[in-house]
Every structure is written in structure tokens, then in C-alpha cells.
Structure 1
Amino acid sequence: MPSPKNSDAEAAAEKTRLSRQVVLAAALELVDAEGLDALTMRRLGQQLNRDPMSLYRYAANRAALLDGVSELVFDELSIHPKDPDWQAQLRYIAHDLRLLALRHPNVVPLLVTRPLSTPLGLRPLGTLRPLEQILSLLIDAGFAPADALHMYRAYYGFLYGHILNELQEFIVDPDENEALLRLGLHRLPPKDFPQLRALGPVLADYDGAAELDQGIDILLSGLAAHLSRVPESTREPAQG
């Protein structure tokens, strides 16, 4: 029977077995807990109880770490590009992305803004897969490839806008029943912000999932209407 000392040594050895997946998972855990600014090689080394220099084997620099974290989060997004019900699939993806953002709110700015500084072909492959899969979904549904790209942009533009808006829905005093006080709107000058103050009860009852559904309803109706105006003879053939 191994002694407790040996067991401790074996446990320590087990902890030191690093892989890219282990390093990125620890990086994501660090960002979730402390924010993006906390993610440095030195801090990650402390998190993993390893010399920071040993981590460069798995990520060349902090930028590579950020890209890896983005890919890891996008891996949690479930997309089925061969689903024949493209509207149901887009609705499902929207809600899945919202929940993913609520699980990792500190990562959302990274997902939204980091791609803007990187040419499309140089972005991590894992961050491009949702684009490829949704394009396939829309093209298989009958949209022309160029139309599918425009619709992807509109779809993700709406989703990211909704997510950023929901993450900013702060409640000042959750125990306060009066909407104006709960949201801190009583501090706004009544003459300058009459509409915002009047909407206090609606703002206080904000339901992110329901709000998302309302927006998706409008978006999907527009996409379906666009597809219905395309003559059958010019639609992209469905892929078998």
C-alpha cells in the first residue's frame, strides 16, 4: 500500500502534466474569475503552479492565449449545419450563444472586438467554424452564398448587440420594489429623461431570453420573406 507521502507525490506529478487543453482551460477559468486583464503568462503559471516559461510550449505569447481562449469558448457552441429547419437552428444557436455569454461574461468583449483587429484568414480556425457552419446552413436552405453572408452578418450583429446590452442590465438595488429606485433612475432629471423614467417598470422586468426571442422572431421573419421572394429556379440546390 503506497504511503501518504508517495500518494502526495503522485498527485503533484499528475497536476504537472500539462497539455494545450489544460493550459487553455486554466486560462479560461482565470478570465472567468478575474477578467481579461488578469490573464498573463506569469499569473497563469501561478494558477497552474508552474514556471511561466514552461507555458510557452503551448501558447507562443499572450495573444495566442487569447486566441486559444476564444476557440475554447466557441467550442461550447453547438451548431448543426445540416438541420433542414434552418429557422429553428438559428433560434437554437442564438439562445445557446446567449447562455454561453452568461457563463463567460468576461470573455464576451474578447469574442466581439478581437476579430476586428485580425484579418479573416488569420483568425483561429475555431473562431471561424461558426461562420462556415451557418453559411452552410443558409446556403443549404436555398439562400445564395452572398445573401447567406449578408444574413450571417445581420444575425451575429443582432446577437452580439443583444448580449452586450443584456450584460449591461445592472440592478442598483435588487431588494427595492419601486422600479425607479431599483434601477437608480430616480437620479435622472425628470425633464431631461421622461421616457426613460416612464419605462422604469419595463426595464426592471427585463427578461433576456424573452427579449432575444422577440428580436429573433423579427429577424427570422425578414430572412424567410427574403427567401420567399427568390424564384425557385435561382435558389441554391439543397445539399443531400
Structure 2
Amino acid sequence: MTKSPVGRPRRSDSEQVPERGPITPQRILAAALEIVDRNGIDALSMRRLGKVLGRDPMTLYRHAPNKAALLDGVAESVFEQLDVDTDDGDWTIQLREVARNFRRLALDHPHAVPLMVTRPLETPLGLRPRGTLRPLEDILTLLTRAGFTATDALYIYRALFGFLYGHVLNELQELVERPDENEDLLRLGLHRLPIGEFPLLRSLAHVLASYDGAAELERGLDILIAGLTATLPDPDSPAPAAS
């Protein structure tokens, strides 16, 4: 029996005591997310979900017609936790909050990250679950209220989430070859790279070994927001006079 993050024993699927009560889409998605969090996307099936919920799997198809719909629902349930304050007067502060919250969700649900990052791209924008599009609409609202054009607001959204997707994938996949080794080159396996071909990469062994996801996120946001502020039109500046 494994331990949960707060120190209580965590039951495996076979040990789970099925919850009684009416089956709702919310209960189904909550149970599906728990399975994904515990065992990964491939472990999710109607059969296992029915076992966790104490129901015949066939009854679940009334709420989710297939596994694809179930995966979309799980992604939507995670994205719905990403709140955007569209009334925040400082768009840069709110974008930082969105970025921090997105990273937190990714770290809380690492097995669900592919559903958040890559799965939506497999579906045309207008056919994606509405909940996965809500952060986009809210950020567009935030930025247009701040004075940006809708087009510039879309550019900002794409730049922000392009950075966030890359960041969380990189942070979650940071691996070391020898965790107990004190020498950074050996810990990361960089000693295997010829020094003549990769002198700079080898020289960064200490920096790479001391990777701090939260600090790197803030540094990346500093660079991104500074670049956006410098290159995009100031929403508070008057529009140029028509010739």
C-alpha cells in the first residue's frame, strides 16, 4: 500500500471502496482523473472506472460514449480549475498568476499533462470541449479590456501558452542518470558527451543539476512579458492620427 502526499495510505484500485450514490458526469470525471493521476492515461478504461464507482461499466456509457470523450472530459475538468480574473487592471500580474496556476495544475496532475498540452491540438478549435477553451476566451477578454486589439491579445495568449507548455513538459521530464552521485557531470550523464563537441553544455552541469522549476518559470515570464511590452503597441497610447 502506497502513501498519499499527506501521509495517509493510498488504496490501489483493487482496494478502493466504491462510493455509493447517484452517478453524475462530475463523479465519473473525478474518478477518471484519480485513475489517471494514480496510474496514467493508459490505465483508464470503462471497466476500471466502473469498478472504482461500483457500477456496471455499460451504465457509464450514458454519460461518456467512449474513452475519447472521457479523456476530453478529464482535460476539461483540469482546465476548469484555471481561473482568470478578467477584471484585473494589470494584465501582466494576471498573466503571471495564470502561468503559476497552470504550472501548479501540471505538477498536481502530471499524468494528465498530455491531455492538457497535446490532446487539444488533435481537434479543430471549435470542436474542443468548451471548458478547455475557457482560459483562451478569458485571457482574450482580460487583454482586450486592457486595451489590446483582439489580434494582439491572441498573439499574447499563444506566446504565453507556447512557453507554458514547453516549460511544464521540460520540468516534468527532467531526469538524472545517477541521483545519488555528488558530481554534477556524473549525475546528469554529461560525462558521456565529448568535451570537444559539447564544451558549453558540459560547463552548465551545475546549473542544469540545480534546476528550479518555479524560478525558471519566473525568469521565463520576465523575458516573455518584457518582450511583449517592448514589441506590442501600448494599449494606453493614443492611436495614430489618420492621414
TM range (shorter): 0.7 to 0.9
- Contact 2:146/2:235 (<8 A) preserved: no
Amino acid at match of 1:42: R
Unaligned runs of 5+ in 2: 1-16
Match of 2:174 among 169, 181, 191: 169
Report how far residue 194 of structure 1 moved. Answer: 2.4
SS for the counterpart of 1:78 is: coil
Residue of 20, 25, 50 corresponding to 1:20 = 25
**In structure 1, how many angstroms separate the alpha carbons of the residues matched to 2:153 and 2:44?**
36
CA positional deviation for 1:14: 5.4
Higher relative contact order (CA 8 A, sep 6+): 1
Matched, 1:74 2:73: no
Query: Does the residue aligned with 1:232 lie in a helix, a strand or coil?
Result: coil
CA distance in 1, matches of 2:230, 2:46: 50
- In the alignment, the residues of structure 2 paired with residue 231 and residue 45 of structure 1 have an alpha-carbon distance, to the nearest angstrom, of 55
Shift of 1:227: 4.4
**Residue aligning to 1:3:** none
Paired with 2:236 and 2:34, the residues of 1 have a C-alpha distance of: 50
Look up the equivalent residue of 1:30 and give its one-letter code: I
Q: TM-score if structure 1 supplies the norm length?
A: 0.87
Partner of 1:197: 202
SS at match of 2:81: coil
Aligned to 1:224: 229
Q: Deviations over 1:180-236 (max 9, x none)?
A: 12222223333333222211100000011111111101111122223455673339x
**Cα gap change, 1:101 to 1:14, in 2 (>3 Å):** closer
Q: Which whole-Å deviations, capped at 9, do the CAs of 1:74-126 have from their partners, x for residues lacking one?
A: 12212111110110110111111011101111111111111112111111110
The answer on 1:211 being equivalent to 2:213 is no
Residues 1:30 and 1:149: Cα distance change in structure 2 (over 3 Å): same
Percent identity between the aligned chains?
A: 62
Structure-1 residue corresponding to 2:109: 104
- 8 Å CA contact 2:18–2:54 kept in 1: the answer is no
Q: Do the aligned partners of residues 15 and 199 (structure 1) sit closer, same or farther apart at CA in structure 2, a change above 3 Å counting?
A: same
Q: Which has the higher helix share?
A: 1
Equivalent pair of 1:16/1:50 in contact (CA under 8 Å): no
TM-score (normalised: structure 2): 0.86
3-state SS in 2 of match to 1:57: coil
Q: Cα RMSD over matched residues?
A: 1.9
Matches of 1:95 and 1:55, distance apart in 2? 35
Cα distance in structure 2, aligned partners of 1:70 and 1:92:
20
For residues 18 and 228 of structure 2, what CA distance do their matches in structure 1 show? 55
Question: For residues 109-156 of structure 1, what are the alpha-carbon distances to aligned partners after superposition, in whole Å with 9 as ceiling and x for unaligned?
Answer: 111111112111111110000000000111111111111111111111
